[in-house]
Every structure is written in structure tokens, then in C-alpha cells.
Amino acid sequence: MTSRLEVSVRKSLPGFTLDVEWHAGDGVAVLFGPSGSGKTLTLQCLAGLVRPDAGRIVVNDQVLFDAAAGIDLRPQRRRVGYVFQGYALFPHLTVRQNVGFGLRDRSRAERGQRVNDVLARLSIEAHADRYPRDLSGGQRQRVALGRALATDPSLLLLDEPLSALDLPLRQALRDELRSILTGWGTAAVLVTHDLTEAYRLGDRIVVYEDGRVIQAAPRSELLWQPSSRSVARIMGLRNLLQGVTLKATPDRIQFRWRGQTLEAVNSPIRSYLPAPDSPLAFFIRPEYVRLIRKDRDGVDSAHHMNLMSGTIVREVDFGTIWTLYFRLDEPGPPAQGDYDLEVEVPRLVYEILEIDRDRHWRFSLHRGSIHVLPSA
Amino acid sequence: MSPDNLSALRLSLQVAVAATALNALVGIPIAYVLARRRFWGKSVVDLLVTLPLVLPPTVVGYYLIVLLGRRGVLGAPLYELSGFTVAFTWYAAVIAATVMALPLLVRTVRAAIESVDRDLERAAYTLGRSELRTVLEVTLPLARNGILAGVVLAFARALGEFGATLMLAGNIPGRTATVPLSIYTAVQTGESGEALGLVAVLTVLSCLVLVVANRLGARAA
């Protein structure tokens, strides 16, 4: 079944205005952005718990809300499942009663059958007669999912579904959640402020900032082509830098930065042609900077484009990786405080190259690893 | 214990039970609305309900006479229609006790309802429950201990009501003379032995109530 979700919502609160418009299809749409950017408010509007001032919400051709037409279905009539932050399981009811809560209009036998099916599918039959307080975080998440999915909603909403969990559990349950969502096939909207979660769980990512949508794109596109500097900043991208354009063509962009002439691949989807001498924002993923080994001879320009050299001014050990802060061999103030470029190397590489003893390195960047950001 | 004292005690219990029931009936909906709804005039309702807590009981009694007395705003039409007046009946004692106990119940129950996670109610709405059914199936069961504590406190307050009762119901032995009023009469007429028995009974009852309310409160927290 192909589902389609169209959301256009405006809601003014004291000190905050939500004004968003986006759409999504099958699978999971992730609303991603910092706390307080209006993600949960959007979910509440979708569920009918908050009434927007203006806008229109359509799920699979069913109009849930249309300010102009005076349509505003009550939450009870929307067939929208909601997994709340912290799960909001009814503490005075057993797992079975929680899951069956939305099935009141069905016969006793039918309800019992459906609850058993759901419990079995989520592997929580063994806990059916326990109370939420006796469950682990992961079991609670499954009960909350089961309660929302038992009614066969046309849309499932999840508000920070993993935030109630400890970090190690979070990662395990993230993958479990992904497989449950895929397995069930219900169109879902999930809210998170964690980029990794957004990527692991979302098919489409809608980036929120301060009550507005600043980018909505399929996951793969967003990762490599943030549409603007602010998207890149919200995504927590490092080495977000600014250079000066030399020459832009539909497939290459040449620019100057810190005395270097660098070349980047232009985005094939949205080719960006800034005028010569205009400022240019770009970012470099720290894990894509290649240190050049000194024990091998020859620098091959085909393999080593965008060649630079610099000195390590600081380094941080993150266990499996090392982060090195390089200052280029260039006069003038560094681009990012006391350094120019942040570089990540795996621990093994750090040890083989004996980086702890040698602080001066040459490094290169493939032109595909420099990502130019259209100014916006 | 003398027959008079026994009848005072029976009357007191009867009045307190009736006033508590009335309190729960009126007070729980008011508490819910104050806790969960935003509406025009909410602060006025809040003020009116809380006022008996701080006003001298005789002042509350005076207002009740103005409202319900034979020549009162509501009392006069009632008397003309039915020839019945609330004043100086045991109903008057019930009404006085109800009004005086209402702030305790409403405030306790309101706090209990406010402590129920709103997401639980929202979850019930998205699962198809109306607001009324949500109140009955989710909010009130989860606020249960707070509600019981409020009811117990209201009962204690109703049992000990003196000033407003005296104003509206008078002090008629066997009809409106509840235990606190009988104690007053006994002391006034110098029958301190009589008074002592009733004082002991009220003290024990009140202690019991406090213990129960505290236990409920502790479990609610």
C-alpha cells in the first residue's frame, strides 16, 4: 500500500511560531532538529491534540485537518497511533490491558485474539500480565509500539522513542525499532534530535530549525548534500569552512582557501554556479582526510589531489579513533580558532604511522570529499 | 454517654457523611476542570472555591443565609414555591459543612490530577477514548490516592464544622446540634464533664483521619 502524508501547519504560541510544510510517502519520515524547534508540536498537530491556526493535514487522501474548509477531526477519530516520549504506558494496567486499550469497540474474543497476535509479533507474550513498572526499557518500548499498532493506525507517530533508554541499549533498540517499523509497514513520522538515529531510522529526513523546515530530502541526499550552511550546522558537521570561488562549472568548483587552491565536485543534482570571487561555504568530513605515508615514495597527483601540509596542534583520543587538529603551513590566522582542519584517523592507523612521535604531515583530499554548500 | 450526646454524635456523622458525598460529587469535577481546562473566569472559580479556607466561618455562614435563608436570594423563591426553607434543618448543616470542606477537597484532588502525566490522557484520546471516559479510566484511577486523601480531609473538616453551621442551621438539640455545637453548649452551661466526652471522641476521630490521610498521601507521592 502506498501512503502519502501532506503536512502544512501554522501555529502561533507565546514566543514561538511553528510554520512548516512538508510531505512524505511510505516508510519512516524523520523530523530532525534541535530541541525546541517544533518537532513535538508538529506531532501533536498531526494527532489532533493541538489545533493549528492554519494549514492542512492529509493522510492517504483522508483530510484530518483543513483550516480553510473547517475540518478538524478529533484525535479519537484520526486513526493515528502515538508513541510518546517516555512511552506513557498506563501504569495501572497490565501489558495486555495496555495493548488492548484501543480495541474497546471490538468483541471480547476479537480483542483477545488481536492482543495475542500483537504481543507475539513483538515477542512480549511472556510479560502479558505484568505491569509497566516491572518491565525493562526495551520491553516498555515494545509495549508502547504494540499499543499504538494494535488498532492498525494509518499513521504512526513516535516522539524521541529511544531517549528514555541508556546509551548501549539505545543502539541495540534503534535497530530493533527499525526492523519493527519496516516489518509492520505502517507509514510513520519519528522525531529525534540525534543525527545517527535520524539516519538509521529515516527514509526521508525533514530538518527543523526554530519552527521552520530548512530541508526535506531522502536520507542519502541529505547526508551528502545539506542544502545550506544552517542545515550543515544543525547536522553537527565539522570543518564547516568558507573559501573564495575561482571557477565554477556544472561538475567542478575551484576555490581558494587558506592559501590553497582546492577543487571540489559540484553537486550533480543541484549544480551551483557561484560567480568568481564570491564567498563559498563548504565542509570536509574529518574521516575523509587522507594522511600521506612517509615510508612510501612518490606523491601521485591522480591519487593525491588537494594536497596540503600542516602540524598537529592538539589531539584527542576517543578510544577507537583519534581526532587530530591540524594547523596548515600557511601564514595568517587559522580558520577554526587555533587550527584549520579537524582530521579523524582510526586507532590502528595512528599507531602504525606513529603519529604520537611525528607531528608534521602532508595530507590530501579527494575532490569528492569536499562538499560545497549552496549559500542560503 | 448521655442520650443527647449520642444523638449529637449520630447527627454529626450523618451530616459529615452527607457533606462528604456532596463534596466528592461537586468537588471532583471542579478540581478536574481547574486542573485541566483553560476557560474564561477560571481564576474567579478558583477564588470562590478557596475562599472558605481563609474567611471566618461566620462570614461564610452569613453569605449562606443571604443566599439560602427564608428571605435569601435563592431561599425566598424556594419558600414561596414549596413552603420549605433550608435554614435551621439538618440539610443546612450539610450545606454549611459542604461549603467549608470544599476547598480542602478541591485543592487536594486538583494537585493529584495535575500530577497525572498529561501524555497518559493524550494517549487515551489517540486510542479512541472520549474525554469523559479518559477521566474515568485513566485520570481518576491514577489520582486515586490523592482523591481519597481529599475525601478524608473533607470528612474531617465537615465533622468539625462549627461557625457556618451555627449561622445557617442554628443550635437546636436533636436537630442541628452537631458534636462541636454540643460541646460549645455544654461548656456554656457549665457541664464540663459532658463536654469532655465529646471532645475526646472528636479528637480520636480527627487523629484517625489524619493518619489515614497521611498514609494515602505518602502512597500517592
Please give chain A's pLDDT, 376 residues, in tens.
Answer: 577 899 999 999 999 999 999 999 888 999 998 888 999 999 999 999 999 999 999 999 899 999 999 999 999 999 999 999 989 999 999 999 999 999 988 999 999 999 999 999 888 999 999 999 999 988 999 999 999 999 999 999 999 998 877 777 777 788 888 888 888 888 999 999 887 788 888 899 999 999 999 888 887 677 666 777 777 777 777 888 889 999 988 888 999 999 999 999 886 656 778 889 988 888 888 989 999 888 776 666 666 789 999 999 999 998 899 999 999 999 888 888 889 999 999 999 999 999 999 999 999 998 888 888 775 4
The pairing of beta strand A155-159 with beta strand A188-192: parallel
| CA dist., res. B41 & res. B47, Å (int) | 10
End-to-end CA distance of chain A, in Å? 37
**Interchain pair B128, A85: CB under 8 A:** no
Q: How far is B138 from chain A (nearest CA, A)?
A: 7
| CA dist., res. A22 & res. A215, Å (int) | 9
Three-state DSSP state, A93: coil
Sheet holding A252-257, edge to edge: A260-265, A252-257, A240-248, A279-284, A370-373
- Look up the pTM and report it: 0.79
**Partners of residue A191 in chain B, C-beta under 8 Å:** none
The nearest alpha carbon in chain B to A101 belongs to B127
The answer on pLDDT for B198 being more than 90 is no
Q: How far is B103 from chain A (nearest CA, A)?
A: 28
As a dihedral over the C-alpha atoms of residue A120, residue A126, residue A131, residue A134, rounded to 10 degrees, the angle is -120
Q: Please return the burial class of B6, using the count of CB atoms within 10 Å of its CB with bins 0-12, 13-18 and 19+.
A: exposed
Shortest CB distance from A104 goes to which of B117, B128, B138?
B128
| CA dist., res. A368 & res. A268, Å (int) | 11
**Interchain pair B120, A47: CB under 8 A:** no
**Interchain pair B126, A82: CB under 8 A:** yes
Shortest CB distance from A84 goes to which of B123, B138, B142?
B123
Mutation target for A interface from B125, B126, B133: give the one with most A CBs within 10 A: B126
Q: How far is A84 from chain B (nearest CA, A)?
A: 7
Residue A208 forms beta bridges with which residues?
A213
pLDDT for A351 equals 92
| CA dist., res. A237 & res. A229, Å (int) | 10
**Partners of residue A85 in chain B, C-beta under 8 Å:** 119
**Partners of residue A101 in chain B, C-beta under 8 Å:** 124, 127, 129
| CA dist., res. A255 & res. B66, Å (int) | 88
Give the contacts of A6 (CB within 8 A, at least 6 positions apart). A23, A56, A57, A58
**Interchain pair B122, A151: CB under 8 A:** no
Give the 3-state secondary structure of A2-34. CCCEEEEEEEEECCEEEEEEEEECCCEEEEECC
pLDDT for A376 equals 43
Q: How far is B109 from chain A (nearest CA, A)?
A: 18
ipTM of the complex: 0.84
Inter-residue contact A229 to A375 (CB < 8 Å) = yes
Cα-to-chain-centroid distance, residue A145: 21
Does any CB of chain A come closer than 8 Å to the CB of residue B38? no
The nearest alpha carbon in chain A to B119 belongs to A88
Inter-residue contact A219 to A236 (CB < 8 Å) = no
Question: Of all residues in chain B, what percent carry a pLDDT higher than 70?
Answer: 97
